[in-house]
Amino acid sequence: MDILRFITAGSVDDGKSTLIGRLLYDSKSIMIDQLEAIEKQSKNKEDGEIDLALLTDGLRAEREQGITIDVAYKYFSTPKRKFIIADAPGHTQYTRNMVTGASNSDLAIILVDARNGVVEQTRRHSIIASLLNLPHVVVAINKMDLVNNSQDVYNNIVIDYAEVATSLGLMDIKYIPISAINGDNIVEKSPAFPWYEGESLLHILENVEVANDINYTDARFPVQYVIRPQTEALHDYRGYAGKVISGIYKKGDKITVQPSGLESTISAIEIGGKEVEEAFAPQSVVLHLNDDIDISRGDVIVLKDNQPSVENELDVLLCWMGNKPLIPGNKYLLQINSRVTRAVVKEIEYKLDVNSLLKEPAPEQAGLNDIVKVKIKTASPVPFDSYKKLRVNGGAILIDETSNVTVGACMIQ
């Protein structure tokens, strides 16, 4: 049993909340008291139907203030897998919300209303999924009951979407006809679509290969904390605590510390206090080195024969999340894993139209939800990999030093 993290992309009108409610309900993750609470609120109580969409309903503060919190997390599991749903609300701030939710997801379910087919919003969601480099996409063509479960309607949408997918270079795409409200093709394969040869949505979610998405080649270990007990018995103990974000480390491996470039050899590896021969992503471990060299939080330990880029000028695709606009020349803090460095956004090269993927001329400022290509200069060299190649070491955030707020998501090119 492992974990699949996925995001659902679509608006309330596409039946997103109903779909999530349905997955939770049919996988028996909704408890009686929670069901009673939504029964009380269900608008269509007369016909005895529960409005499953209410399961993902917002907080009172959101309703009162007319805001949405970027992501709510929902959990369910089957004997095969534990699932974590990042439920990002739609509407105006969708780009920011979806970028946030997608940043640690393995898969996106993109909902298409069968009556409307591939629309602008479908393109936008797909573009974000591709920018965030999501390994898997499931296109769920919903409300099939409203188009008489028509195979022709379904096929035409698949043909339309395939074009979008090709232009974006999306990798693993699966298509499925569903009716979230009726539960068709959600948990069990439905007789409503005798022409559909694939599996149910839950079956797809249970069987998507995610272990292969982990990169075991390019070993990266950002140091989070140095453990030094300094007791008599452990006088010389010096362990580098962190998470192997990619790759494999073995005892005896020759390593380089970046950005200093210092070299040493791994003398021991500990997991939960026990010594092991090797550690791999995404384990949290403690590394010991043969030489007493200067290493602190924010440094990255890599294998000597597989180096990341180490630079202080970065080409970045930036999703702006701040309420105040991004002004070129402004200084921010750039945080990539455990490393924080001062940074200045030097120039905006162009703005990306998230509906068409066309490059628009560089605006003077970038606003909330804009995706722009920028050049960032950092005060000290940053060890990184291109986001396309290695998500875990190519994503960074920008922090406004005066408000401390996270204002940007950087995908380093």
Tell which positions 50-109 bind another protein, by CB under 8 A: 57, 59-62, 65, 67, 69-75, 77, 81-82, 84, 96, 99-100, 103-104
Q: Which is nearer to another protein, 44 or 65 (CB)?
A: 65
Q: Which is nearer to another protein, 80 or 346 (CB)?
A: 80
CB of 82 to another protein, least distance (A): 5
Q: Which is nearer to another protein, 103 or 142 (CB)?
A: 103
Q: Which is nearer to another protein, 99 or 180 (CB)?
A: 99
Binding positions for another protein, 24-43, rule CB under 8 A:
31-34, 37
Binding positions for another protein, 167-226, rule CB under 8 A:
211-212, 214, 216, 224-225
CB of 97 to another protein, least distance (A): 8
Q: Which is nearer to another protein, 93 or 151 (CB)?
A: 93
Residue 270's Cβ-side half-sphere holds a number of Cα atoms within 13 Å equal to 13
The partner residues of 285 in beta bridges, in order of sequence, read 242
| Rounded Cα–Cα distance for residues 374 and 334 (Å) | 13
Q: Which two tokens stand for residue 40?
A: 């009380």
CB of 53 to another protein, least distance (A): 13
Which spans in 66-150 are helix H? 94-103, 120-131
CB of 3 to another protein, least distance (A): 5
| Rounded Cα–Cα distance for residues 266 and 279 (Å) | 11
- How many C-beta atoms lie closer than 10 Å to residue 171's C-beta? 12
120-131 and 151-168 helices, crossing angle to 10°: 40
Q: Which two tokens stand for residue 191?
A: 């007789």
Are 51 and 42 contacting, i.e. CB atoms less than 8 angstroms apart? yes
| Nearest Cα residue to 372 out of 313, 327, 403, 338 | 327
CB of 369 to another protein, least distance (A): 12
Q: Which is nearer to another protein, 76 or 154 (CB)?
A: 76
Cis peptide upstream of residue 361 (ω within 30 degrees of 0): no
Region near another protein per CB under 8 A, out of 8-16, 180-188, 252-260, 397-405: 397-405
Q: Which is nearer to another protein, 144 or 326 (CB)?
A: 326
Q: What angle do CA 164, 107, 178 make, to 5 degrees?
A: 70
What character string, x for contact with another protein (CB under 8 A) and - otherwise, covers 300-339? ---------------------x-----------x-xxxx-
404 binds another protein (CB under 8 A): yes
Report the residue from 242, 259, 308, 383 that binds another protein according to the rule CB under 8 A. Answer: 242
Count of residues touching another protein (by CB under 8 A): 71
Report the residue from 27, 265, 365, 406 that binds another protein according to the rule CB under 8 A. Answer: 406
| Rounded Cα–Cα distance for residues 356 and 72 (Å) | 28
CB of 310 to another protein, least distance (A): 19
* The total number of residues written for the chain in this structure: 413
Q: Which is nearer to another protein, 77 or 365 (CB)?
A: 77
CB of 326 to another protein, least distance (A): 15
| Rounded Cα–Cα distance for residues 107 and 172 (Å) | 10
Q: Tokens 């009172």 — which residue?
A: 60
Region near another protein per CB under 8 A, out of 43-51, 342-350, 360-368, 405-413: 405-413
283 binds another protein (CB under 8 A): yes
Are 72 and 87 contacting, i.e. CB atoms less than 8 angstroms apart? yes
Greatest distance between any 2 Cα atoms in the chain: 77
Report the residue from 191, 272, 329, 361 that binds another protein according to the rule CB under 8 A. Answer: 272
| Nearest Cα residue to 78 out of 182, 183, 1, 185 | 1
Q: Which two tokens stand for residue 245?
A: 């974000």
